[in-house]
Amino acid sequence: MKWKTTASALWLTAGVLLAAAFLIAVRGGLIAWVAGIAALLLLAKQRWRPTPRDVRQALMLTILAPMAWLGTFFYVISTYESGEVVELAIDTQDGPRNVRLWVMEVAGEAGVYIDAEPQIAASLLAGKSVQVSRAGVSTTRIPRARMVDDMSTDEADAVLAAMGQKYGSRMTAADLYYVLLGRPRDRVALFVSLPEVGAGG
């Protein structure tokens, strides 16, 4: 008698495939691609060569894929927060937003790299004042934001060098974030200098 894959195995596997497809569409990332391919192959196996192990395999994929994604996310966040982080309070057209970012000194000024949501990017590029909280002290700053794509190679290298010098091995967590979890496709990469109000430039 030929074994028939249960509906629960099919639904579990299809759910992983749909979740992976959604993540691939909005941000990519190796984990989403691996989970999606694994789900597709498992669905094919369930269709053409069903076995009593189908439910267990589907359940394992359903558990392991989210665990890998969330585990990577929390590792990256905890590593990120172990370095110096500043908080920017930004007024956007959708209301106030707070973001936490690494800060470095470039050409004698504090600056941050941010993969910004479109409304945050628009506010920073417009030069609207922001509140910067650093080491418990809040100051008003006038951001000078530039799209990373518009920076020269030397300028971009200077930012990366300053970040690497300050945060060292923590940079690996940032690399893992982009490789394993991907990058939201609507994000705008900016480098933002944060001179104090009244500073020249």
The pTM score is: 0.85
In a domain, 1, yes or no: no
Domain hosting 52: range is: 7-80
Whether residue 113 sits in one domain with residue 76 = no
Per-residue pLDDT of the chain (201 residues; tens, 9 = 90+): 344 557 888 999 999 999 999 999 999 999 999 999 999 999 999 888 888 889 899 999 999 999 999 999 999 999 999 999 999 999 999 999 999 999 998 888 899 999 999 999 999 999 999 999 998 899 999 999 999 999 999 999 999 999 999 999 999 999 999 999 999 999 999 999 998 765 444
Domain count, the chain: 2
User: What are the beta bridge partners of residue 115?
Assistant: 189
CATH code: domain of residue 107: 2.30.110.10
Whole-angstrom CA distances from 77 to 89, 171, 181 are 19, 12, 12
User: What are the beta bridge partners of residue 87?
Assistant: 100, 133
In a domain, 75, yes or no: yes
Question: Is residue 195 a contact partner of residue 130, using CB atoms and an 8 Å limit?
Answer: no
Give pLDDT, residue 48: 87
